[in-house]
Structure 1
Amino acid sequence: MTISETQSQTQNPLWKSTMKVVSVKNKDSFVDLELPTPEPTGQDVLIAVKAVSVNPVDFKVHSRTPGELSEPKILGWDGAGVVVKVGPDVTLFKEGDEVYWAGSIIRPGSNAEFQLVDQRIVALKPRSLNFAEAAALPLTAITAWEGIHDRLRIGEKEKGKTLLVIGGAGGVGSILIQIAKLAGLKVIATASRPETLAWVKEMGADVVIDHSKPLHEELAAIGIPEVDFIYNTVDTVRYWDTTVRVIKAQGSIVSINGTAERLPLGELMGKSVSFHWEMMFTRSSYQTQDILEQHHLLTRVAELIDTGVFKNTFTADLGPINAGNLKKAHTQLQSGRTIGKVVLSGW
């Protein structure tokens, strides 16, 4: 061990020269490995990862793995932990800070004991939550917040208008309902099982309709045949015809589910409807000028959690972060029946 490593270990009790990671092995499995701990440079903070959560992007990226990988590939885009070292250009954090973040899709992820993350997409975690609870929030909160405020641009004049949330009980839907309510919208969320219906109501939805039935019929039955805004968290193509049918003239749509199919956007022209993609990795992937907004919005979400305005969306902790538990988490999420967010914590 070098002198600098010895000094770092003395200064940072959490720091180690090597780290446990869960790497992709192939498109169906993971493997536990040990790798050198990276060093922070520039605006990066090195964080000791205490908990992670899983999201659909995890299993989507995993499923596209080509054969057996010869080099480690670390997934995971939701974490909570403790800053152990900072790069020379870091001004927002110091060693010992308890933080949460969603990371960058073009860098190694949070399924590792230590992760390098740009300080501008990190925030102090909610003080009222433990690490497992905090890890459930970042990616979904960013996705929902950006969709409402940066894509749909909901402001004062939109208060009282209607938002249809397709998929209200999932990770994004759960926090989206709360963000939309805070923005002053009337939220109509979809769910299909008694337990998801109850969850969506607990998150604050004004009305819940059944997405196992035709949505235009469900909306007509509650006296709201058309809505001002639609946020699709489930499947852009499957709900396209319904979306075109129930969106109001001059309304707006946001979707988080990409597709290789060509969307018939011309079907929206007659109503002058705007369509938006929301991809929470855009700012970090392209180093946009406003990348710091993700730090600010996560800071705001933490405040809203700590003051009791927002409810946490954590529902289950599947145990330590390892290959077996991560596979279990992916399988559970792929079932499409997960409520809220599933987390792994500890090593």
Structure 2
Amino acid sequence: MKALTYEKAHTLDAFAIELTEVAEPRLRDGDLLVEVRAIGINPGEATIRQTRSAEPGGQVILGWEFAGVVVAAGATGFAVGDRVMGTGDFTRDGCWAERVAVDHRVVAKIPDRLAFTEAASLPIGVLTAWESLFRDRDALPAGVDRVLVIGGAGGVGSMATQLLKATTPAFVISTASRPESRKWATAMGADLVVDHRGDLAGQLHAAGIDHVDLVFSTSGTSGHLGAIAEVLRPFGHLAASDLAEPFDPGALTGKSLSLHSEMVFRAGGDVGSQGRILARAADDVAAGRLRPIVTTTLDGLTAETMKTAHALAESGRTIGKTVIQA
């Protein structure tokens, strides 16, 4: 089959991902084989391309957000022909290929009316937001009434805002810095939009808000720690999805804050919960409670479209989700 591969980590200006012929995926017990119809693009994949090289004699196949059709199922509860969306396993080959092998527990069926490009915009954002926010029996922590989402116009922030408004009574504040991103954050359901480049506490005070109970930071967390500590109430909660960089929690001391670091690709635990979360999200989309977040669609799984997608991801100005239609 064909897949987009590279061998050595590289920068965007030395883009080296190519469409090559590779072996068919090897299925494990409980795997599905999915024919990929669309893939979602995430900033983390560009970071991996810059830092991760293949083992000697091998190649890297990135991509862990897809929608497609099951072509081999085994005893998994799925059937050949099912339309599905899912993520994958960070330690295995990804979905930038004609077909991908994936654990059925991180896959969910999608409604017939949902286009593959729409479905591919959902999994990473839904799972990252859900696991960051809903820690207690699929609910917000007790006493959380106001939530600040930093990076509200990105893929994860977009889904976090939607999930909060669809499933909780929380007052949701989203950050966005440009007119178009502010408009998008409002469309996602934010009750208030503020600028993360400005004085967060001052903007909240001007709106009559003296504190928030939970901050979900999707980007630039280390640079915002002082502001986060200022706006969080004592015994408040900070959830962050970008703590891979050096992180100094010193600014958070003094308020007995709880810190939660999120990464979709977990080690151990109830992996099946992710499939259940995606299935619930699919139901919510079908019912109109959630909406897909695809804003840019590129055609064809080619090196050229992937380079364009990576340039968008590295720009830091993407709104919603970029999706490639395979």
TM-score normalized with structure 1 length: 0.88
2-side partners of 1:67 and 1:120: how far apart?
27
**1:249 is matched with which residue?**
234
Q: 1:84 aligns with which of 57, 60, 71?
A: 71
**1:211 is matched with which residue?**
196
**2:148 is matched with which residue?**
164
2-side partners of 1:67 and 1:45: how far apart?
24
**1:333 CA drift (Å):** 1.1
**2:314 is matched with which residue?**
334
2-side partners of 1:201 and 1:183: how far apart?
17
Q: 2:4 aligns with which of 15, 22, 28?
A: 22
**2:113 is matched with which residue?**
128
CA offset digits 1:152-183 (Å, max 9, x no partner): 96348546x10000010000011100111222
**1:287 is matched with which residue?**
268
Structure 2, unpaired ranges of 5+:
none
Is residue 41–residue 86 contact of structure 1 (8 Å, CA) maintained in 2?
no
**1:13 is matched with which residue?**
none
Pairwise CA RMSD of aligned residues? 1.9
Which of these two proteins has the greater Rg computed from alpha carbons? 1
| 1:32 partnered with 2:19 | yes
Task: Give the share of equivalent positions with the same residue, in percent.
Answer: 37
Residue range with higher mean Cα deviation, 66-75 or 248-257? 66-75
SS at match of 1:169: coil
2-side partners of 1:58 and 1:126: how far apart?
27
CA offset digits 1:24-59 (Å, max 9, x no partner): 243132011011212423100000001101101101
Q: One-letter code of the match for 1:314? A: V
Q: 1:310 aligns with which of 262, 287, 290?
A: 290
Residue range with higher mean Cα deviation, 230-239 or 59-68? 59-68
SS at match of 1:245: helix
2-side partners of 1:248 and 1:152: how far apart?
23
Q: One-letter code of the match for 2:300? A: P
Q: 2:52 aligns with which of 57, 65, 76?
A: 65
Is residue 237–residue 257 contact of structure 2 (8 Å, CA) maintained in 1?
yes
| 1:268 partnered with 2:219 | no
SS at match of 1:343: strand
**1:70 CA drift (Å):** 3.9
80 and 231 in structure 1: CA distance in 2 versus 1, 3 angstrom threshold: same
1-side partners of 2:137 and 2:219: how far apart?
18
